Structure 1
Amino acid sequence: MLDGAAQWAVVGGFVLALAGSLVTVIGFVVSLQVTQHDHGKRLQRVEDANRDAALKMERMEQGIAVLLERTRSLAAPSATGA
């Protein structure tokens, strides 16, 4: 058997090892949460960009429809007048 000081040294070593493991696990969990938060922000930016692009496409489609209607209205009198 070990004497009292050696036993305390062994117990202290185990406690330090457990504390180190706990710190490692906590660091890993915090790292995962930060990574997840970053991915969430990136996903939000991508969704915002997609929404903006969809709105721009819709405005472009409306503009093209207006141009087509104007072109038809300009072409119609000359076609009927000919």
Structure 2
Amino acid sequence: MTHAGGVQAHLPTLLGEVAGAPPYLAGLIEAKAAVEHGPAVGADGARVGQDFQALHAVLDAAQAGSALPDGATAHAALDDFVVRHRPPHR
């Protein structure tokens, strides 16, 4: 994954960036988009569970190698900005 300081949350795009993703994953993404919260029709639950764990490991490795902080770090700067740019109180 080559996102310098960014997060890719669009599953179809992310799929193209993960080497070795199982070939049926595109179909699952389409099924998710079609039914959003319904069960995936025709998916082998055990196989999907194993692949989920493997892909989760890929995401964990990407997170471990990321320079992004674990949480927001600009609270003070944002507060200062808002205070300086807020309209005068009437």
**Which has the larger share of helix?**
1
Larger Rg: 1
Higher relative CO (Cα under 8 Å, sequence separation at least 6) belongs to: 2
TM-score (norm 1): 0.28
TM-score (norm 2): 0.25
